[in-house]
């Protein structure tokens, strides 16, 4: 009779262990978190604007210099 009780207790222990492991691993099966926000996005956009502005300024200066040079001739 004690053998039957030991086997039953062992089965309950194994079942409890499997249940515990399942509960621990289950949260890992949930939805993945969305990508974190891009903290450098604003700085990249500002850098692109600055580069575009610099290009416009250089083109304007070249145009002005060409006009001054043609007027001097």
Q: Higher confidence at residue 7 or residue 12?
A: 12
Is residue 73 assigned to a domain?
Answer: yes
Six-digit token pair at 65? Answer: 């210099």
Number of domains in the chain: 2
pTM: 0.44
- Residue keyed to tokens 């969305």: 34
Same domain, 44 and 71: yes
- Asked if residue 45 and residue 21 are part of one domain, the reply reads no
Q: Do 46 and 69 have their domain in common?
A: yes
Q: Which residue bears the tokens 């399942």?
A: 22
Q: Are residues 45 and 19 in the same domain?
A: no
Residue 55 domain boundaries:
40-73
- Residue 26 CA: distances (Å) to CA of 20, 23, 30, 53, 66: 10, 5, 7, 53, 71
CA 37, 40, 45, 48 torsion-angle sign: negative
Residue-level pLDDT at 9: 79
Question: What pLDDT, in 10s, does the model give residues 26-55?
Answer: 776 666 677 778 889 999 999 999 999 999
Residue 1 lies in a domain: yes
Q: What is the pLDDT of residue 6?
A: 65
Residue 35 lies in a domain: no
């Amino acid at each position: 009779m004690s053998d039957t009780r030991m086997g039953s207790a062992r089965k309950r222990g194994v079942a409890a262990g499997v249940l515990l492991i399942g509960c621990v691993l289950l949260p890992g099966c949930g939805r993945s978190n969305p990508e974190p926000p891009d903290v450098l996005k604003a700085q990249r956009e500002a850098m692109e604007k600055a580069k575009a502005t610099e290009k416009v300024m250089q083109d304007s200066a070249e145009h002005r210099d060409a006009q001054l040079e043609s007027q001097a001739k």
